[in-house]
Amino acid sequence: MERKMAAALLAVLLLFSLTGCGTRPDGADTAQKGSGPESTQVNGTTGTTQGGSGADTDQGGSTARLSFQGADGWDFQKNMNQSAFGSMGELCKAETGYYFQFGDTLYYLEGAAGRVTELCAKPDCAHENEDCNAWAGAFALWYSGGRLYFARRDFEKRGESFTELGKHVYAVDPDGTGRRQVMSLELQPVRGRPLSSFDNPICHRGQVYFVYNGALYAVPLEGDAGEAERIWGEDYSAGGGEGGYTAYDPNEPHYTLWADGETVYFMLIATQENGARNQTLYAVEPAAKSVKKVWEVPDGEQVGPWETTGVSVSQWYVLNGTIYFYLSGGDFWKTDLAHGETVKVADTHEQTLYGTAVFSDEYMCLLNDHPMINPATGEPWPEGGFHEGGDTVYVYRLDGTLMRELPLGGLWDTLGEIESFYPVFCDGDALYLIADAGRMVPIPGGAGSQKSRMDALCRLDLETGAIREITRWENWT
Ligand SMILES: [Zn+2]
């Protein structure tokens, strides 16, 4: 049973990874154009469009309360790696704003609620193809030591065919110019199809941690991946076929990398001694070169039933040696990683049984969405991987105090028929979310109507409940 569920989860992970990767060799993935400042959808600097709450005191732009202290440092940005929205999973914070990728395009959000612009200053650029400075197709985005970095898969196009060149890291100046390839994430030159590792690399204190052929490696930022140090796991390419080719192995471990202070963590979906495939957290002490298993997803006997029992927690966050985790269909828990004691932080089911959470160092913001139901089985599909709906955010402090209950309904005034919300990240006193609206629009030429999708990035002030649209992408299908 666990195996089946894990396989389904893995499929979802791969699906997300694939859809998140813009450099697909079929060339079908063109960059989606967001609304630039000319499109008049950016409210931050003018304040002319208020959110629908009626209590909007957020002035946006430079007057909004910022939380960029330490953003110029070298640490993994924990709260920027919480996105629950597949098209906006790559985010990082700089001294004066946020960088993010939507579709394949990099954007800059000025201040906490200011203008959103493509990260491209080329005159007359339509920001529509690979010639644009903002075009990235990245699967990871970092800000480290005052520079923006992104990782992506590269391909060489010859006629109609594409050759895989492997994964590389690029450095970019803060204004989007000066892009240069600074390192590879391949230990050996790629010949043909790469192995199935889509696990996101992270950068922490000058080291890049990345997964290659199923094993975890570390190498200095901008260093030579060929000299990377293997930290954990066996290289799956050992004994592989021609050119390092190895068929997809469903038992290959998948990593979610993390860092907190001196410790680097990785969450693995891996086969346990009892044969079950569970989420397991390992702690790496780089100085001591030690790796230790510190946590395993609790089973229902310990914490009660939840949506994806036995496979994965819904969302988690490691801070100061404690893992905080939310179980959709259950509650909010934490485990002291030094002592292994798991305790309930809050009875979140009293507010909402299901949901999607994002964490920061201060808060857990919980959206009351619910699992998507497979109409054929009447069960959540696929095993809790997708959520929909949601109209209220519950803001908990990490000590379990329910601080706010914030309705999102005000957005309906400006956005129309909202189908679902996706929490993207929480920073300072704000939660950023995507409102996904689906509308029927006429097909040009009078051939009936079709569904048009519009995604709006919105900012919810956790103190006042004021909500405002920051930018939107229309006709996003
Ligand atoms: Zn451009």
DSSP of 101-139: EETTEEEEEETTT--EEES---TT--S-STTSTTB---S
Q: How confident is the model at residue 59 (pLDDT cuts 50, 70, 90)?
A: very low
pLDDT at 100 > cutoff 70: yes
- Measured in Å, residue 377 CA sits from the centre of ligand 1 at 46
Which residues line ion ligand 1, judged by CB < 5 Å?
A: 120, 122, 125, 127, 132
- Measured in Å, residue 164 CA sits from the centre of ligand 1 at 25
Task: Confirm whether 237 is domain-assigned.
Answer: yes
Q: How confident is the model at residue 473 (pLDDT cuts 50, 70, 90)?
A: very high
**Mean pLDDT of all residues in the chain?**
80
Name the more confident of 329 and 352. Answer: 352
- Measured in Å, residue 145 CA sits from the centre of ligand 1 at 25
Task: Confirm whether 145 is domain-assigned.
Answer: yes
Name the more confident of 190 and 82. Answer: 82
Cα–Cα distances (Å) from 418 to 230, 353, 396, 454, 477, in that order, read 46, 21, 25, 9, 15
* Rounded mean pLDDT, 206-229: 93
- Measured in Å, residue 172 CA sits from the centre of ligand 1 at 14
Element (H, E) at 9: helix 2-20
- The predicted-structure confidence for 15-57, as pLDDT tens digits, reads as follows 333 333 333 333 333 333 333 333 333 233 333 333 333 333 3
Task: Confirm whether 433 is domain-assigned.
Answer: yes
Characterise 124 by phi-psi region: left (phi > 0), alpha (psi -120 to 50), beta (else). left
Can you give the pLDDT at residue 63?
38
- Measured in Å, residue 174 CA sits from the centre of ligand 1 at 15
- Measured in Å, residue 112 CA sits from the centre of ligand 1 at 23
**For residues 366 and 426, is the Cβ–Cβ distance under 8 A?**
no
- Measured in Å, residue 127 CA sits from the centre of ligand 1 at 4
Q: How confident is the model at residue 402 (pLDDT cuts 50, 70, 90)?
A: very high
DSSP string, 30-94: PPPPP--GGGT---TTT--S--TTS------GGGSPP--TTTTSSS--GGGG----GGG--EEE-
User: Chain centroid to CA 366: how far?
Assistant: 16
Task: Confirm whether 181 is domain-assigned.
Answer: yes
Q: Which amino acid type is present at position 20?
A: G
pTM: 0.82
Give the total number of structural domains in the chain. 1
- Measured in Å, residue 99 CA sits from the centre of ligand 1 at 15
d(CA 214, CA 228): 14
- Measured in Å, residue 92 CA sits from the centre of ligand 1 at 20
Contacts of 355 (CB under 8 A, 6+ apart): 314, 326, 328, 348, 366, 367, 368, 369, 370, 387, 390, 394
- Measured in Å, residue 170 CA sits from the centre of ligand 1 at 17
Task: Confirm whether 365 is domain-assigned.
Answer: no
* Rounded mean pLDDT, 90-96: 93
**Angle, alpha carbons 396-139-175 (nearest 5°):** 90
Can you give the pLDDT at residue 189?
75
**Angle, alpha carbons 249-251-257 (nearest 5°):** 105
- Measured in Å, residue 462 CA sits from the centre of ligand 1 at 34
Task: Confirm whether 303 is domain-assigned.
Answer: no
- Measured in Å, residue 177 CA sits from the centre of ligand 1 at 10
Contacts of 343 (CB under 8 A, 6+ apart): 333, 334, 335
Task: Confirm whether 381 is domain-assigned.
Answer: no
- Measured in Å, residue 124 CA sits from the centre of ligand 1 at 8
Number of neighbours of residue 264 by Cβ within 10 angstroms: 24
Can you give the pLDDT at residue 422?
94
pLDDT at 407 > cutoff 90: yes
- Measured in Å, residue 123 CA sits from the centre of ligand 1 at 8
* Rounded mean pLDDT, 434-454: 80
What range defines the domain where residue 199 resides?
2-296+408-473
- Among 384, 361, 358, 359, CA closest to 371: 384
Rg, C-alpha atoms of the chain: 22
